[in-house]
Amino acid sequence: MAVNGIKSLRNLPVTSGLGASRAFSSAAKSKKTKGAAASDAPKQSTLSKEVKSTTVVGANILKDGTDPKILPDSEYPEWLWRLLDKKPALSELRRKNIETLPYEDLKRFVKLDNRARIKENNTTRAKN
């Protein structure tokens, strides 16, 4: 059945777009320029400053939910404040004495050292 449909499409006359021209009305052109100018302008927020300072705007992922409220710092766990701290690089950890490293730095050293050895082994065994 699909083959018959394709055969019928082959029999349709093909017209080239060389002779045909397409024109737009002046109203369509004016709407296009108005839309472009409006999209370039910065959008004004409809939320009040009070709402912005007490809620996390845009953090809601549920259809029927609401944005979460901002809590005082004491309500959040301690690890949250250490997420953005800079961690030492492998070269810096190699310069330090391993016996004096704290547990977290020692764990990071082992992980980064293993990763570096795996990469080195992969490059030496790579087919060239």
9-47: b or e for each residue (b if 16 or more CB lie within 10 Å)? eeeeeeeeeeeeeeeeeeeeeeeeeeeeeeeeeeeeeee
* Length of the chain as a residue count: 128
In this prediction, residue 106 carries a pLDDT of: 95
In this prediction, residue 124 carries a pLDDT of: 92
Domain edges within the chain: 49-58+65-125
* 79 touches 104 (CB < 8 A): no
In this prediction, residue 128 carries a pLDDT of: 65
The CB density around residue 99, as the number of other CB atoms within 10 Å, is 6
In this prediction, residue 27 carries a pLDDT of: 56
In this prediction, residue 111 carries a pLDDT of: 96
15/100 Cα distance (integer angstroms): 82
**Three-state DSSP class for residue 116:** helix
E strand or H helix that includes residue 118 = helix 103-125
In this prediction, residue 95 carries a pLDDT of: 93
In this prediction, residue 67 carries a pLDDT of: 86
Instruction: Provide the residue-wise pLDDT of the chain in tens; the chain has 128 residues.
Output: 555 555 555 555 655 555 555 666 655 555 555 555 556 666 666 767 667 778 888 888 888 888 888 899 999 999 999 999 999 999 999 999 989 999 999 999 999 999 999 999 999 998 76
